[in-house]
């Protein structure tokens, strides 16, 4: 049995929690549903630890890989001309990634790098083609017939990372892959896609940075394979197991366990949940849109926080701003007073601390959801007969770069 199935089993068991939206924290009584019920008790944490232990065993250490590659390439120094003019985060990422790219070029004899998203500075020892066109499941710009290439992608959005895995397998000239996935919420998940949504999500993930007109003028929406392409799951083992993760869970996987929830971000989540409770009680017609989805109010918390420092007045200002955004005509001083009273009611009890606890548990779940997405691509590469070696590596410090995992393969 594939050991990675433990990740699938965990995400199956806690799928409801992983896909819960925090806007429903109060209205859906998450305190009772997830905390008081015991659903997220010791057994939840035990299974989290088991999943972490598995992935740590499956990930290859960078130093072990470099020994296997007999590498002499070192991490770039911060003052290297290749990275010194970059922002700190990008400089760090390129410094950590470039030596692995050089290693793969060296071991495969490739003298050509096709760079999709990593940008200048990854390696100047070989020719680099930076792809600025639409990458399709049946076409990779920059490939030269008969010339060995290494395919590189740093923080490739959504389906783009899946497409690059696919292309690396089917294009003969690609002899190595160094890929850091990102933006998991943009993955096309088979269980969710119907009809034209395949094209829409595909365009979002693959054609990142292009305008709608540029996408429309490309072949991206004219090729049958684009309509059929599924970014998740990719591997046979997970497809055969009918793996389902869910969009909210994939969004959650973009979070980092190492990220500390600040009081302001926690309060923002609390205010949005409380706003839904307020709308459902006094203005139910404005609480959800025509499709039954929660309405979007935008980034109004920061605006409210600039105007007021007292929590009650801040929430009243928040409700006032939401009313303007949603074009609610009747939010007068009486309703704002009720909003303030509602805030005091829920903060007087245990709700705020419950929110803090649930957010902490969500961060634990997020890590396993990310592991599952990573494991799917690791399985996909391992299932291929093309690669002599494939591996998953933690290449970055999550505090420096939260999407810290690299997929590597070479012939």
| pLDDT tens profile 182-238 | 999 989 888 886 554 444 444 444 444 455 555 555 554 444 445 567 899 999 999
When divided into structural domains, the chain yields a total of 1
The mean pLDDT value for 325-336 works out to 93
Q: How far apart are CA 234 and CA 383, in angstroms?
A: 10
Banded pLDDT at 373 (limits 50, 70, 90): very high
Residue with the bigger pLDDT between 79 and 377: it is 377
In terms of Cα–Cα distance, which of 333, 335, 340 is closest to 282? 335
405-410/174-182 β-pairing: antiparallel
Which pLDDT score, from 0 to 100, does residue 163 have? 92
Percentage of the chain modeled with pLDDT above 70: 83
Q: How far apart are CA 130 and CA 210, in angstroms?
A: 15
DSSP annotation of 154 reads E
pTM of the model: 0.87
**Which residues lie across from 392 on neighbouring strands?**
407
149-157/112-115 β-pairing: parallel
Does residue 323 lie within any of the structural domains? no
Banded pLDDT at 342 (limits 50, 70, 90): very high
Q: 3-state DSSP call for residue 198?
A: helix
Q: How far apart are CA 248 and CA 198, in angstroms?
A: 18
Does residue 225 lie within any of the structural domains? yes
Sheet (strand 405-410) strand order: 127-130, 112-115, 149-157, 174-182, 405-410, 389-394
Residue with the bigger pLDDT between 409 and 194: it is 409
The mean pLDDT value for 392-402 works out to 89
Does residue 374 lie within any of the structural domains? yes
Does residue 44 lie within any of the structural domains? no
Q: Residue 98 is part of which domain span?
A: 52-189+220-256+367-410
Residues 183-199 have pLDDT tens digits of 999 898 888 865 544 44
**Residue 385 and residue 278 in contact, taking contact as beta carbons nearer than 8 Å:** no
Does residue 171 lie within any of the structural domains? yes
Pure H helices in 109-185? 159-170
Does residue 58 lie within any of the structural domains? yes
Q: 3-state DSSP call for residue 128?
A: strand
Residues 348-367 have pLDDT tens digits of 888 989 999 999 999 999 99
Residues 6+ apart with CB under 8 A from 95: 75, 76, 77, 78, 80, 83
**Residue 148 and residue 173 in contact, taking contact as beta carbons nearer than 8 Å:** yes
Does residue 306 lie within any of the structural domains? no
Does residue 287 lie within any of the structural domains? no
Which pLDDT score, from 0 to 100, does residue 167 have? 94
């Amino acid at each position: 049995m594939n050991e990675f199935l433990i990740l699938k089993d965990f995400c199956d068991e806690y799928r409801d929690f992983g896909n819960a939206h925090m806007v429903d924290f109060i209205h859906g009584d998450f305190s009772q549903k997830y905390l008081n019920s015991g659903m997220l008790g010791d057994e939840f944490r035990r299974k989290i630890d088991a999943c972490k232990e598995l992935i740590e065993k499956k990930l290859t250490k960078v130093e072990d890989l470099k020994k296997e590659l007999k590498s002499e390439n070192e991490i770039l120094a911060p003052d290297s001309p290749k990275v010194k003019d970059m922002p700190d985060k990008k400089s760090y990422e390129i410094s950590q990634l470039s030596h692995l790219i050089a290693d793969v070029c060296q071991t495969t004899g490739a003298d050509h790098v096709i760079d999709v998203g990593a940008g200048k500075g990854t390696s100047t020892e070989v020719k680099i083609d930076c792809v600025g066109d639409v990458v399709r499941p049946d076409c990779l710009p920059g490939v030269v017939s008969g010339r060995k290439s290494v395919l590189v992608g740093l923080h490739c959005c959504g389906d783009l990372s899946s497409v690059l895995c696919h292309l690396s397998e089917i294009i003969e000239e690609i002899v190595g892959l160094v890929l850091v996935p990102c933006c998991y919420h943009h993955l096309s998940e088979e269980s969710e896609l119907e009809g034209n949504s395949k094209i829409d999500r595909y365009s979002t993930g693959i054609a990142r940075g292009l305008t709608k007109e540029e996408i429309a003028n490309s072949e991206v929406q004219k090729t049958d394979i684009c309509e059929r392409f599924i970014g998740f799951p990719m591997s046979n083992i997970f497809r055969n197991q009918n793996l389902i993760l869910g969009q909210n869970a994939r969004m959650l996987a973009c979070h980092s366990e190492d990220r500390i929830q600040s009081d302001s971000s926690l309060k923002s989540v609390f205010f949005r949940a409380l706003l839904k409770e307020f709308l459902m009680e006094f203005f139910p017609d404005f609480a959800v849109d025509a499709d039954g989805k929660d309405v979007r109010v935008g980034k109004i918390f920061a605006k409210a926080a600039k105007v007021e420092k007292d929590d009650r007045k801040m929430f009243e200002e928040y409700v006032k701003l939401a009313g303007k955004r949603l074009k609610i005509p009747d939010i007068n001083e009486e309703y704002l007073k009720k909003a303030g009273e509602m805030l005091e009611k829920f903060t007087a009890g245990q709700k705020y601390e419950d929110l803090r606890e649930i957010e902490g548990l969500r961060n634990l779940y997020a890590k396993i959801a990310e592991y599952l997405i990573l494991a799917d691509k690791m399985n996909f590469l391992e299932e291929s007969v093309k690669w002599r070696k494939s591996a998953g590596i933690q290449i970055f410090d999550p505090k420096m770069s939260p999407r810290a995992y690299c997929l590597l393969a070479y012939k």
